[in-house]
Every structure is written in C-alpha cells, then in structure tokens.
Amino acid sequence: MTTTDLARDAARAGDATLVGVDRAALPGFIRRLDETALLAMAATLHGEGVFPGGVGRTTDQAADLLRVAVRHRWILHRWLAVLTAEGWLRHDAETGRHHLLRPATRADLEAATSALDAARTGLGYPAAMTRFFTATAAHLPQLLRDEVPLQALLFADEDLETAEAAYKDNLVNAYLNAVVAHLLRDAAGRPGRSGPLRVLELGAGVGGTTADVLPVLAGRPVRYRFTDVSRFFLDSARKRFACYDFCEYALFDINADVLDQGVAPGTQDVVLAANVAHNAVDVARLLAGLRELLAPGGTLLLVESCREHYQIATSMQFLMSARPGVPAAGSGDLRAGTGRIFLTRQQWLTQLTAAGLTPLLDLPEAGDPLAALGQHVFAAVR
Ligand SMILES: C[S@@+](CC[C@H](N)C(=O)[O-])C[C@H]1O[C@@H](n2cnc3c(N)ncnc32)[C@H](O)[C@@H]1O
C-alpha cells in the first residue's frame, strides 16, 4: 500500500465517525466560540474597571488592579495579547500600555452564550459544554485571583458530565481515534513483520485513545506499553484494560531522558503520544529522543491541538499554571517566553522533520472544515 493510499484510508476511517454531522457548520461554530470567549475576557476586564474611558494600563498594572494570583499572571498576559491581536484592544508599543478596550457587558455575554448554546445542538456538543462555559465566565475574577479553583467548576456535578464534556470533544476525538486506530491496524497487519508489533504509548492517562486502539490490536501479535508520568493512571488502566494481556504498564516522563526509562533504542515500531507532546519543556529534544526509540521504519503518531481556542484561556489554562511544561523564556524550545502551549500544525511538521523524521500524513487536511477544530493526527516515519 502506498503512503497516499494509507492516508486516504485513514481519512475515510475518520470520516466514518462523522456521518450526520454538519461539517460545513464547524468553522462558524468555532469562530462563535472564540468570539464569546473574547467577550467574556472583555466583560470581565470592564466589570472590574480595568480600562475605564481612555485609560491605558500595562499588563502588570492590569494584573495588580485585578489582584491576579502570581501563578495565573501569564493567563492575563495571554488575554491581553489575544484581545489585541483580534482588534478588541489597542496596544501602545512605546508606553507598553493597553487601552481602548471594546465595550462588553455581562448582558452581551449572556446573549452570546445563549446563541452559542443554540449553535452547538446538531453538532454533537453536549449541553454540559455551554454550562461549563457559563460557569467559568461567571467566575473569571475569582479564578484569576485563585479564590476559586477551576476543578470546583469542572467537577461540580457528581456524574462528571461537565468534566467529560470539557476534556473530550466527542466529535473530533472519535475522528482522531479512528485515524490512529486505522494506522495501528495497518502497522500490525503489514506483511513480512517478524515478531510482535511493539507499541509505546506516552501520556496515556485516562486512556481516551488507548480504549479505541486496543480492541483493534486484540488477536494480533502485539506488545503494548501503556505509560504515563503519573502512577495513578497506570493503576486505573491496569484494571480497565485487564482483558488485553498484551499490555504492560510503566512510568515514563517525556521531560526526562527518554533513552533512560527502560525502553531500548531502536526497538519501537510505533510510538503514540495523544495530547501529551506539548507538555514537553523542549519539543525538539523530545522528538529527537523519540526518533532514537523507534526502529528503522517505525512510526511516531502524535495527536495534538494545533491552536489555542480562546475558550481555553478562560477555562482549562487555569489548570496549567503550575505545570513545569510551559517553556520559560531562554529555554531552547520554540515557544519559550511566548506563553503559548500548543504548536501550530506547521510548527509540528517542521519540528518532526528537524528531528530526522519524515512526515507521512497529517489529518484532517488543511482544507477540511474539521481543521477549524485545531486537532490533528501526525504520522512520521524514522
Ligand atoms: C490531556 S491528557 C491526555 C491523556 C490521553 N493521552 C488521552 O488523549 O486521552 C495528558 C496526559 O499527559 C500526561 N503527562 C503530563 N506530563 C507528562 C510528562 N512529562 N510525561 C508523560 N506524561 C505526561 C498526564 O498525566 C496526562 O495523563
């Protein structure tokens, strides 16, 4: 099978999960979500009197006025940067002050959130998504001050419906997992393989990807190493995936030396990292190390968010403040000092190539309306 055939078949496997979804409506919905998040930021800043009239403030002055907790200051920095980039706020490079924030009230925000709720129906997004958005938007001053932890809003309901809606975007996850599962099935079934398919999954966590991949591999010669930096996830995965006897469980930290964690160089047929590689303090170093773990011809599969939805800056980023993975200014990583967490699609492709890997496919394709969601699968070969 040629690379083009493989990419086409993997895309078809993903598409099959989207039957009945109005794909063309997705970009408009995502734009609406972004606009509503910008409105939430602006309404918060106005509500707290940060930019009255023509008054200009530096980021630090705005943070002091809002009493933003030190660990969350980078989030306010991002807010002002995206509001400026989107034309909601002006920035005077000479004085370093921001000013003239577009008017935005709580009433505007409520109207926009209702419209968002109407738009999400039909696209497969649960009601809990809008509920979570509304709850975080209402608590932004307290979240910034660290008076309310995001977890209190995320795990507010006993059945974890909100957390599930926030963590997994059903629509795109099903697509991405189907693509990954197709690629693994193909790798396991490739003629001429001697010995089992050796798969190393990194940051496997709650097993959102694993759960869709293991059934596809069952019954084939496979050795699957489920890893995470946290032992907590290993223990629960061991129970959850007990029926897959080809699975083993081990700690693995992508920010430590990957060649010194019990996996011999040149031994892995597939390394899978779903929604974890952006946690690398130095992405280039991680990719170079993963290349060393791969056997010649082996494949690195990455699932990554390639854009920062503004809604993340009003919600999930409050969970990321304490993380060591935000590359500090001066570190070698390409995000250093920018406050950015995710790499763009092009940046991933460039970094994969720079690490000595050959990109094989990335889906969804650039022109696909699904690409508006910003989630991608990359496959690259050693
Ligand atoms: C967003 S979750 C993704 C979980 C799973 N791969 C999925 O897609 O459902 C990120 C996972 O990365 C793990 N993680 C964070 N930092 C890590 C590190 N330095 N090394 C390995 N795993 C890490 C977390 O423990 C968490 O399980």
The CATH number of whichever domain residue 256 belongs to comes to 3.40.50.150
**Enclosing domain of residue 157:** 23-123+126-167
Judgement on whether residues 159 and 198 belong to the same structural domain of the protein: no
Judgement on whether residues 143 and 161 belong to the same structural domain of the protein: yes
Judgement on whether residues 10 and 38 belong to the same structural domain of the protein: no
- Backbone φ and ψ for 332, nearest 5 degrees, come out as -75, -10
* Both structure tokens of 67: 């009493």
Judgement on whether residues 202 and 257 belong to the same structural domain of the protein: yes
Whether the predicted pLDDT of 331 surpasses 80? no
Separation of alpha carbons 314 and 348, rounded Å: 25
Whether the predicted pLDDT of 165 surpasses 70? no
The number of folded domains in the chain is 2
Residue 268 lies in a domain: yes
Judgement on whether residues 148 and 220 belong to the same structural domain of the protein: no
Residue 76 lies in a domain: yes
Best residue for ligand 1 mutational test, from 168, 240, 271, 276 (most atoms within 8 Å of Cβ) = 276
Whether the predicted pLDDT of 245 surpasses 80? yes
Judgement on whether residues 111 and 141 belong to the same structural domain of the protein: yes
Best residue for ligand 1 mutational test, from 228, 251, 252, 376 (most atoms within 8 Å of Cβ) = 228
Judgement on whether residues 83 and 132 belong to the same structural domain of the protein: yes
Using the 8-state DSSP alphabet, how is residue 251 labeled?
A: E
* pLDDT single digits (tens) 230-244: 998 999 999 999 999
**120 vs 229: which has the higher pLDDT:** 229
pLDDT of 130? 85
Whether the predicted pLDDT of 167 surpasses 60? no
Judgement on whether residues 276 and 293 belong to the same structural domain of the protein: yes
Q: What percent of the chain has pLDDT over 70?
A: 93
| CA 204 to ligand 1 center in whole angstroms | 6
Separation of alpha carbons 29 and 211, rounded Å: 28
Confidence of residue 317 (pLDDT cuts 50, 70, 90): confident
| CA 293 to ligand 1 center in whole angstroms | 19
pLDDT of 164? 63
CB neighbours of residue 94 within 10 Å: 5
Q: Whose alpha carbon is nearest atom 10 of ligand 1?
A: 276
Residue 325 lies in a domain: no
Residue 163 lies in a domain: yes
Separation of alpha carbons 41 and 57, rounded Å: 16
Judgement on whether residues 362 and 223 belong to the same structural domain of the protein: yes
Whether the predicted pLDDT of 260 surpasses 80? yes
Q: Whose alpha carbon is nearest atom 27 of ligand 1?
A: 205
- Among 135, 167, 199, the domain boundary falls at 167
| CA 275 to ligand 1 center in whole angstroms | 7
Whether the predicted pLDDT of 185 surpasses 90? yes
pLDDT of 34? 94
Judgement on whether residues 53 and 90 belong to the same structural domain of the protein: yes
Q: Which residues line ligand 1 (CB under 6 A)?
A: 202-206, 208-209, 228-230, 233, 252-255, 274-276, 279
Judgement on whether residues 55 and 106 belong to the same structural domain of the protein: yes
Confidence of residue 206 (pLDDT cuts 50, 70, 90): confident
Judgement on whether residues 161 and 209 belong to the same structural domain of the protein: no
